[in-house]
Amino acid sequence: MAECTDAGLFGLVSRDDLTRARAAQAELYQRHVRYLFGVLSKQRACLYELAAVSVEDLVQETFRRAFERAASFVAEPNLDRERAAHRTRAWLGRIAHHLLVDAIEARREVAASPFLDHQIVTEDDESPPSTPLLRAVRDGLASLTEREQDVLTITALYQRVGETHQRLPNAVADELAKRWAISQESVRAIRSRALKKLRGFVTARGTVQGEAP
């Protein structure tokens, strides 16, 4: 098993041979559990509080869901082992991300998941590489208040579910408002103000460095 690629292991998981499927599950789990637990542990605590799940729960559920849907894992040929692992981990991250969104949604007692069926692994990788601007954005985010960061993080969570202009559901905005003892209108105002501050921060950083347009 140790020699198998991730795609090969997912292939075994999705077949009928229970013994081999379990061995493949165990191998995939050992390869990636430390990574997944590591990155999910770093996420903002407010996400888990709003979703009412623990990091451990989310890790376990992510693997369970990945194995359940192993047949949908699409291998990309000619990738070296490291890049293949990145791809697997991106897929696991995407599943975890959607489970988290779904768990937050669950708090408003909706009966079906709107997001998880959209899981695919063949999307283009459009995230920007690390650049001075990205570093400025990251520093700008760090300069915001905890409340502003919470609001932007929750909103960003919903922007990532694959639909353009994904709007924060009212019930989620309501939970967020309760968490900070403010109104939903204030949540929107805080988001708007945070974006304005961020834009100001990044623009100032660019001006200082002579990078501004």
Partner 1 sequence: MTDRDEHNRFDEDESLEQWVVAGLVDQQALAPITAAEVARAHADGLEFQGELPQSLRVYVEKPSSTKVVMLNERRIPSRSRVWLGHGLSAVLGAAAAAAILIWRTERNPRLLALGKDPGSVGARVPAQSTSASIPATIGPFELRGPNCCAGVDCADSKPSLRECASARRFIDCGDAQGSERYRIRIGRLAPSPTGRFLLDKSPDRSLEICVRIAGSPLHCTKAFATAENEEAWSLLPMTATANDLLAGVTVQLRWIGEGESMAEWSFPIQSNPTVLCNGISVKAKLPDGEPVGSLSMFLDDAYYVELGRSNSMRELGQRVLVHKFVGMGPQIYETESSGQGRFAVTVGPMSQTLAEATRWAVLARGADAKLVFGFDYRGNALRVPTE
Footprint of partner 1 on 26-55 (CB under 8 A): 26, 29, 33-35, 37-45, 52-54
Structure tokens at 4: 């198998």
Question: 61 to 90, contacts with partner 1 by CB under 8 A?
Answer: 61, 63-65, 67, 83, 86-87, 89-90
Q: By CB under 8 A, tell whether 171 contacts partner 1.
A: no
Q: By CB under 8 A, tell whether 178 contacts partner 1.
A: no
The one among 2, 77, 122, 181 contacting partner 1 by CB under 8 A: 181
Q: What DSSP string describes 168-179?
A: PPHHHHHHHHHH
For the chain, what is the radius of gyration of the CA atoms? 20
By the 8 A CB rule, do 77 and 114 touch? no
Q: By CB under 8 A, tell whether 188 contacts partner 1.
A: no
Using CA atoms, how far apart are residues 65 and 71, in angstroms rounded to an integer?
Answer: 11
**Least CB distance to partner 1 at residue 16 (A):** 15
The one among 133, 163, 183, 185 contacting partner 1 by CB under 8 A: 133
Using CA atoms, how far apart are residues 64 and 87, in angstroms rounded to an integer?
Answer: 18
Half-sphere exposure of 114 (CA within 13 A, CB side): 12
x/- map, 103-122, partner 1, by CB under 8 A: x--xxxxxxxx--xx-----
The one among 5, 8, 14, 147 contacting partner 1 by CB under 8 A: 147
Instruction: Return the number of other C-beta atoms located less than 10 Å from residue 166's C-beta.
Output: 16
CA distances from 51 to 4, 54, 55, 195, 208 (A): 35, 9, 11, 24, 40
Q: By CB under 8 A, tell whether 151 contacts partner 1.
A: no
**Least CB distance to partner 1 at residue 7 (A):** 14
Q: By CB under 8 A, tell whether 23 contacts partner 1.
A: no
Q: Which is closer to partner 1, CB of 10 or CB of 67?
A: 67
Q: Which is closer to partner 1, CB of 14 or CB of 37?
A: 37
Please enumerate in sequence order all residues whose Cβ is within 8 A of that of 63, keeping only pairs 6 or more positions apart, or say none. 25, 28, 29, 33, 36, 92
